Amino acid sequence: MSTTDQRLPVYLDCDTGIDDSLALAYLLAAPGVDLVGVGTVSGNTSASQAARNTLDLLALAGREGVPVAQGAEDWSTRAFDGGVPHIHGWNGVGGVELPRGAGEVAGESATDLLLRLSREYEGELRLVTVGPLTNIAIALEADPGLAQRVKDVTIMGGAALVPGNVSAVAEANVWNDPEAAGIVLEADWDITLVPLDVTLENTLDESDRARLLGSDVPLAVALGQMLDHYFDFYVDFYGSRSCALHDPLAAAIAVGGVVPTVAPAVAVEVDETEGPARGQTICDLRGQRLGPVDQPGARTRVVLGTDRPLGPHLIDLLTTAC
């Protein structure tokens, strides 16, 4: 890292759907943050479409200089299944046709980009993952020293004390590649896990969307357009046109825009069996009744409460700073 640049270097790994786009926009707009690279993985859409979306979003923000590398098309033990167009649209960004950016996908894979940047920003790089953990597991297996070079990891994934959103117990990012999630959660590094327990409590509604659409920031307007599709999906869940802020909450927590208030460090295990619990994040939250207690040796903090709602802060940032 340059000695004069005190901004936090952040690497984002994502499956660029709609809330991933909000996370990307947040990291671009957040003061003191230097987004140094983005890797893509299949999830909401294919890794290649996610890379295209990311390049186009960066171009809208005038940030074509951020390298975007494509990662795994298939998950560790399963071929990509086509994504979730009913949630994120046919192209991952709600069917919105983004202006085609001039940027091209990097000539290296997402894992190679991450490994390279972890050396360039050794001890400083903050890793934020908001998709399946396939790329990160591949990188750890190729070079276990990654865990020592990265400062910390913030993961949107899992469900600790609430139901899953793909199966009764599994959250989508973990469900899509439980084997990769297991590798990442077992590695020797500091993790902040941002599960459905908190992401579902942070939402946007039509008044927020109106602010995005009414702004003079092109990226904010595009995000407002995308949210139309995302809100449709959430009507049955929330009973109104709104959406959960899964990925931007992880981004905000990673860089200190939202601060966890209840986040005990505990053992977390991923169910990798083929049974009904596949993809479950089993968080050992015993002994927490009287308040958060860290388990000796545990390096995964499970976020169960935060200091403020993300929505107003996110909209303020996106409509003024992009």
Residues of the shown chain interacting with ligand BDR in the complex, contacts defined by CB under 6 A:
17, 19-20, 43-44, 130-131, 156, 165, 171-173, 246-247
For residue 264, the Cα-to-chain-centroid distance in whole angstroms is 20
- The item of ligand BDR, Ca ion, none sharing an interface with residue 67, based on CB under 5 to 8 Å by kind, is none
Residues 39 and 77: beta-carbon distance below 8 Å? no
Smallest distance from the beta carbon of 215 to ligand BDR, in angstroms? 23
Active-site annotation holder among 13, 15, 20, 177 = 15
- The item of ligand BDR, Ca ion, none sharing an interface with residue 165, based on CB under 5 to 8 Å by kind, is ligand BDR
**Residue 246 designated active-site:** yes
Smallest distance from the beta carbon of 245 to Ca ion, in angstroms? 11
Smallest distance from the beta carbon of 298 to Ca ion, in angstroms? 25
The residue whose Cβ lies closest to ligand BDR is 172
For residue 259, the Cα-to-chain-centroid distance in whole angstroms is 16
Active-site annotation holder among 20, 177, 246, 271 = 246
Residues 213 and 296: beta-carbon distance below 8 Å? no
Sign, CA dihedral 248-40-87-191, equals: negative
User: DSSP state, 170?
Assistant: B
Positions that interact with Ca ion (CB under 5 A): 15, 20, 130-131, 247
Q: Which is nearer to Ca ion, 124 or 171 (CB)?
A: 171
- The item of ligand BDR, Ca ion, none sharing an interface with residue 171, based on CB under 5 to 8 Å by kind, is ligand BDR
Q: Which is nearer to ligand BDR, 133 or 292 (CB)?
A: 133
Q: Which two tokens stand for residue 224?
A: 């407002």
Q: For residue 232, give every residue at least 6 positions away whose Cβ sits within 8 Å of its Cβ, in sequence order, or none.
A: 241
Q: Which is nearer to Ca ion, 247 or 271 (CB)?
A: 247
Smallest distance from the beta carbon of 245 to ligand BDR, in angstroms? 10
> Exposure pattern of 40-73 as b/e (b: 16+ CB <10 Å)?
bbbbbbbbebbbbbbbbbbbbbebeebbbbbbbe
Q: Could you tell me how many helices (H) and strands (E) the chain has, helices first?
A: 13, 13
- Whole-number Å distance between alpha carbons of 47 and 73: 5
Q: Which is nearer to Ca ion, 15 or 171 (CB)?
A: 15
Active-site amino acid positions: 15, 246
